[in-house]
Structure 1
Amino acid sequence: MKSQNIFLFLFAMFNFQFLFAQNILKKEKNLDSLFQETMENDLLHNALFRLESKTLEFQKSWAHGHFNDGKKVEINSPFHIASLGKTFTAVTIAKLAEEGKLSYDSPMHHYLPKKFTQGLHIWQGKEWTREITVSHLLQHLSGLSDYFEDLTSNGENMLAVAFENPDKFWTPQEILDFYKAGFHARFPPGTDYHYTDTEYLLLGLIIEELEEKPLHKVFQERIFSPLGMVNTSMHLRSKPFEQPDTPLTEIYFGNEEVSGMKSLSSDWAGGGIQSTTMDILIFLRSLFEGKLIQKESLEIMQEWTPASKGTYYGFGLMQWKLKELFPSLPKLTLIGHHGFTSSFMYYCPELDAYFSGTFNQSEYQKGSMDFLVKVLMELKNTKI
């Protein structure tokens, strides 16, 4: 009788594993089809995508498209991660806070020379610069304008200027001077939310002041090297430890290919990193598995403020609640970041799944989110 029970148990386990494997194979095929169907959009020229889930015992990378010289985009091709870089900056700030080198609640002017901060935030005739804290900068609560997409009084912003002078290499000081020359504050610090790269420019300057070395070296020493992110570096400012076999994937703003523009250097501490989908997930997994910062620090980074319907912002992290965005969807959450080039990195705690990738198209940001929602729904149906 005992041997019969053992046989039945082993048979049941084998049957479960067989069904699970069959289900995973089916889902992989469905994900292949979803990625290929997505790439039929005329806006898209190339894309990269990676998915990892220990719970589902699944990991795979996808690549689509060709470079302008005809060579295929490979799964290890690097890409400009755009605003995903904000999480790297926020993690570095968290490390400095853990070491007692700064406090989230301290005014930013404690850590920056007067030449950087004087006259930065003037609202209704009063200067509020000294009221801006480090946490305000991290969470987009400072009231400063965004030098990339907001407009100056003469209708300019960095996006326009970058196209007017594509061969211009921007230093952080020049970016700050550009901001102070024409932008105005939007509200007093801590009273509202407005997403702005200007804050992350200031955070990058704080890091350089405290560490007494360039930001790209800080990232290399504190994040890239310790995690073994050998294909990651700051675009136009440093080289990765191992140069990938393929060049940087080409970026499109509509129909215009812009990846060769030196003016992309204007995206610095807010997103000036190039990486691969695998390296990005090394970073994201390490963050949520407690290998980068302490548990308490990660909890602080996830103290959310409302950004828009169904979306929240912490310290360099975005949170999407799918049920709030689309009431017909299940209660699934994405935590990570999106970028202007339709780049993304997210963790879904309910499914224990990590995602990274890019569609390298500024006009496909909503489309990239729709793609991730479809992937989530496919994965949710994988559990048996």
Structure 2
Amino acid sequence: MKKIFLIILLITGFLLNALSQENNQKHRLEQLHQLFKTYTEEEVIRNAFFRIETADQSILIDTVVGKFADGEEVTLNTPYYTASIGKTFTATAITLLVDQGKLAFEDRVADHLGKVVTGLSVIDGVDYSKELTIHHLLSHTSGMADYFEDTPISGVNMMQKLITEPDHFWKPMELIDFTRQHFKARFQPGLGYHYSDTEYVLLGLIIEKVTKIPLHQFFEKYIINPLSMELTSMNLWSEPVKRPDFPLAEIYAGPIEISRYQSLSADWAGGAIRSSGRDLNDFIKAIFQGNLISESSLQKMQQWVPESKGTYYGYGLRKWVLNELNPSWPALTLIGHSGSTGAYMYFCPELDIYLSGTFNNTDYMQQHIMFLAEILIGISTNSK
């Protein structure tokens, strides 16, 4: 009888402990949901997406808020624009070609594209374009101008043209010519850091030259289809495998809705991907779990160059170090990429957590890192 009583006590204690853990987990998930809701209550946010998951799925949230202008609800099957997260796709594509022996990171760009690069790297009357390497392009150390946000010699930059010429469909070579005609290089290759979409257009052209297929088809063949990324495609260039509920969640540049603009074609290899939280998390998982590229190539993609306080750039990957951004924050890192629309796709190696989503407004470009920091702080605090 005494033995049976002890067994009952043990079972009861086990069940109470399991129930306590379940309640704690439920409370943690509710807190994460509430934090997301708080960030989406701002008037500028018309729709927002958030997915977070641990490798063991002990934490899993996939949620969305908002409506289209016509009143229809956005859903988890509504693809959203990822903006510069597309750079991670392009850098991964280049890395796949390196792993296949078709490219090397130190290849000279001119050896692949010839005169296409002429005039893009002129400093004090000297053209350094023949010194440009794929490494320079991937790491934003080429010194070339950014046609999107730099101040042009004449006229306006692409960020302004995107709004004023919404019906213009930009082809890749047009973007290179636009840079060559209206912008000056910042420094000689390898002598600094300057974020530039021009570099990633050149990388896209290299991929097409080497593989002899369009960039969007390379993405489909080697990234999207192998990872079953059903809602992912290249905006204005291809369609996803799975028919989405709506073509694309509405994007806002401040108060202006731009999701149907043909001028978004100016992103191309630098950021034209539309996707979902699930697809993006699967993508970055595949990168870091060795299911896409080799371990040695992943290490090369993480050759960090200082970008700004607490921020570093590799090959299509950005790293945030939280306690460098704010000394009161924990020593956690986020590795992935952000987009100008408030989009994000990151991996936190210390917590083995993957986070993707967007706030779909260019006015929220900076707030996403504060949101992610608060999410990770909450999780790390509760796990102690």
Same fold (TM over 0.5): yes
Cα distance between partner residues in 2 of 1:352 and 1:106: 34
2:223 counterpart residue number: 223
What TM-score, normalized by structure 1, do the two folds share? 0.96
| Range 42-51 or range 213-222, more displaced | 42-51
Quote how far apart the aligned CAs of 1:74 are: 1.0
- Structure 1 residues 146 and 3, CA gap change in structure 2 (3 angstroms): farther
Deviation at 1:138, TM superposition (A): 0.3
TM-score (norm 2): 0.96
Q: Could you tell me how far apart the structure 2 residues matched to 1:103 and 1:219 are?
A: 19
**Offset of 1:19 from its aligned partner?**
2.7
For the Cα contact (< 8 Å) 1:49–1:61, is it kept in 2? yes
Instruction: Name the counterpart of 2:149.
Output: 149
**CA distance, structure 1, for counterparts of residue 9 and residue 197 of structure 2:** 61
Counterpart AA for 2:64: A
Identity over the aligned pairs, expressed in percent?
44
Give the equivalent residue in structure 2 for 1:125: 125
Distance change in 2, residues 1:2/1:195 (3 Å): farther
> Deviations for 1:183-240, whole angstroms, at most 9, x for unmatched residues?
1110011010001101000000000000001000000001000100111110000111
Q: Quote how far apart the aligned CAs of 1:42 are.
A: 1.6
Assess, with a 3 A threshold, how the Cα gap between structure 1 residues 139 and 13 changes in structure 2: closer, same or farther: farther
- Give the match for residue 344 of structure 1: 344
Q: Distance in 1 between matches of 2:130 and 2:18?
A: 61
Q: CA deviation at 1:162?
A: 1.7
Gaps of 5+ in 2: none
Cross-structure match for 2:79? 78
Partner of 2:24: 23
Cα distance change, pair 9–206 in 1 and its aligned pair in 2 (3 A): farther
CA distance in 2 between counterparts of 1:29 and 1:231 reads: 27
User: 1:193: which partner in 2?
Assistant: 193
Letter in 2 for 1:241: V
Q: Provide the rounded CA distance (Å) in 2 between the counterparts of 1:104 and 1:362.
A: 32
Preserved contact between residue 89 and residue 200 of structure 1 (Cα < 8 Å): yes
AA of the residue aligned to 1:156: V
Counterpart check, 1:300 vs 2:300 = yes
Rounded Cα–Cα distance in structure 1 between residues aligned with 2:259 and 2:30: 32
Q: Which residue of 2 aligns with 1:52?
A: 53
Question: 8 Å contact 2:83–2:339 — kept in the other structure?
Answer: yes
Provide the residue aligned with 1:91 in structure 2: 92
Separation in 2 of the partners of 1:4 and 1:140? Answer: 69
How much has 1:12 moved relative to structure 2? 5.7
5+ residue gaps, structure 1, are none
Contact 2:87 2:270 in 1 (8 A): yes
Instruction: Name the SS for the 1:329 alignment partner.
Output: coil
Kindly provide the CA deviation profile for residues 288-307 of structure 1, in whole angstroms up to 9, marking residues without a partner as x: 11101111111111111110
Q: Which amino acid in 1 is paired with 2:304? A: W
16-25 or 28-37, which deviates more: 16-25
Match of 1:66 in 2: 67
Shift >2 Å, 4+ stretches: 1-20
Q: Deviations over 1:143-193 (max 9, x none)?
A: 001000002112411111122210011111111111111111100110100
Tell me the equivalent position of 1:247: 247
The corresponding residue for 2:139 is 139
Work out whether residues 147 and 183 of structure 2, in 8 Å CA contact, stay in contact via their aligned partners in 1: yes
Q: Contact (CA 8 Å) 1:56, 1:383: kept in 2 or not? A: no
Cα contact 2:155–2:182 (8 A) shared by 1: no
- Aligned pair 1:108/2:82, yes or no? no
Whole-Å separation in 1 of the counterparts to 2:150 and 2:5:
73
